[in-house]
Amino acid sequence: MRIAFDVSPLSHPLLGIGNYIRGSLAGLVEASAGQHEIVAFAPTSILGPDRIRGALKGIDVELRTWRLPYSHAVRTAWSTLGHPAAERLLGPLDVLHFSDWMYPPQRAGVRATTIHDLVPLHHPEWTTARTRSMHTRKYRNTARTCDVVFVNSDYTGRDVTETLGIPPDRVRVAHPAVKEAFRADGPAADLGAPYVLTVATLEPRKNLQTLVEAHRLLTGDLQLAVVGSEGWGEQPLLDDPRIHRLGYVSDAELARLYRGAAVAVYPSRYEGFGIPVIEAMACGVPVVASAHPSLDEACGDAAVRADPDDPAAIAAAIESALVDRDRLAAAGREHAKRFTWRAVGETFLRGYEEATR
């Protein structure tokens, strides 16, 4: 098969979706074992090609990019106008797998995409107007045209079937994994005092203000370290001297921060899967996570769960995790081993092949 794989989101700093795209492409190349031709492609902004090449370092894949001054507008026009067909730019295709950012037209072959969550439909107040517009159009096109739809969890798969009306036999679950940097052995960060770590873009859905309120209820010198890019909407109040706002950090630094943490907390109100949960587990740190069912698969039985809207419940869960630290850390490491990018790649290949029958 000749597979065209859209990597446009890799032109931005890698967050959850970008990490999934990068990892799933690596898994697809590994699972393919040279039997299929894979072309990564992206219409992107001026700086995008260099960022994409950096993100794909170590993955043996052909990359085609087009530098565009107004890349978002071009991707939107390419999707909504329905021409030219992807084959005009990429040559003959057996599979076109597109991302969240666009839904290019094609003449023939298997049409595939990945849906990470349906937050813009269920909770538009947690997203920007641009995100709502872009994703809503993509969801409609997906339901109408795609032969196979990949999702990152069973939870999202059920949601896609129930909300978008996509038949279950067109949906395939491909759970994410973590990068090699996230492992228990290696140097640990030292912030001068024990700390709770949370990793999330600063946006309403991630629910960081509730965690800040929970942190205030904790006694002793336990600090709170917040890793994450600037987001949108109402921002958490991080002016407490016991809170360390660290911003966006490299994978190597994030792994150090995980390994040095007393507990990792992920209080998100809603996720497609929740990659930071298994990143923390792979690094050997106990995890406290939101009790929302969208996080069930990421957590398994290896995390302490708490009501994301109850600061006292989150504080109590942190204290419980501190007491049960060794058992939770061991259980988390075993749970995280279940998830591999090779398995994602194998799921993609099976989905493509079954769609051709």
The residue extents of the domains of the chain are 2-177+340-355, 195-336
168/162 Cα distance (integer angstroms): 9
Indicate the burial class of 2 (C-beta count within 10 angstroms; 0-12, 13-18, 19 or more): middle
For 2-177+340-355, CATH gives: 3.40.50.2000
**DSSP letter, residue 83:** -
Task: Say how far apart CA 282 and CA 22 lie, in whole Å.
Answer: 18
**119-132 per-position pLDDT tens digit:** 999 999 888 888 88
What distance in Å separates the CA atoms of residue 279 and residue 180, rounded to the nearest whole number?
10
Is residue 191 predicted with pLDDT exceeding 80?
Answer: yes
User: Tens digits of per-residue pLDDT, 248-269?
Assistant: 999 999 999 999 999 999 999 9
Task: Please report which helix (H) or strand (E) contains residue 235, including its range.
Answer: none
- pLDDT 10s digits, 209-229: 999 999 999 988 899 999 998
Has this prediction a pTM greater than 0.85?
Answer: yes
Residue 133: the pLDDT is 86
What distance in Å separates the CA atoms of residue 287 and residue 203, rounded to the nearest whole number? 21
Fold: same for 2-177+340-355 and 195-336: yes
CATH number for the segment(s) 195-336: 3.40.50.2000
